[in-house]
Amino acid sequence: MGFVEAAVYGVHLLFAGLWSGSVLFVTLAVLPTAMDGDIDPAPMELVSNRLKQVSRVSALLLLLTGGHLAATFYTGSSLLNTTRGNLVLVMVALWFLLAAFTEIAASKLSDGLAQQKIREPARNARPFLLAASLVSVLLLFDAGALLGL
């Protein structure tokens, strides 16, 4: 692996970890606080907006870096006919799910927070953040399986 591929791979891993970690942190640490009403809407709105920012930037960078890595290390045939290729395709599908669940959750939060509510928007966002968290964990396992092959 050359310098460029190593740098692209490093950026890919950095933003994959940032995105997954952000979703897990909001789900496990921030959301329960909001559901209990122990945080004001204004700081929760900042958290929600930051989560959207991290999600969107990460999705874009992962698309670019992942596309470069896939084009460099795989052919269409190897993506479809090898275990490694199949794991890469599963990863792409999971990233799309993560982006969708994160966007929906942040939208559910923003809608209620704009009305100065906290508990209801947190409850409305919870199923989507839980789904995003599950997808994040599956992505980490998928990446581990890729590294193990």
Rounded mean pLDDT of 8-27? Answer: 96
CA distances from 75 to 5, 12, 28, 120, 128 (A): 16, 19, 39, 47, 34
The span from the CA of 53 to the CA of 45, in Å, is: 12
pLDDT above 90 for 1? no
Question: What pLDDT score does 106 carry?
Answer: 95
SS3 state at 36: coil
Question: What pLDDT score does 147 carry?
Answer: 87
pLDDT above 80 for 119? yes
Give the CB-side neighbour count of residue 44, counting CA atoms within 13 A. Answer: 33
71-108 confidence digits (pLDDT tens): 998 988 999 999 999 999 999 999 999 999 999 999 99
What confidence tier does 143 reach under pLDDT thresholds 50, 70, 90?
Answer: very high
Rounded mean pLDDT of 117-121? Answer: 94
Mean pLDDT of the chain: 94
Rounded mean pLDDT of 119-148? Answer: 95
This prediction's pTM: 0.92
The span from the CA of 141 to the CA of 145, in Å, is: 6
23-79 confidence digits (pLDDT tens): 999 999 999 999 999 999 999 999 999 999 999 999 999 999 999 999 998 988 999
Q: Where are the domains of the chain?
A: 3-148
CA distances from 72 to 50, 78, 93, 131, 134 (A): 32, 12, 20, 31, 29
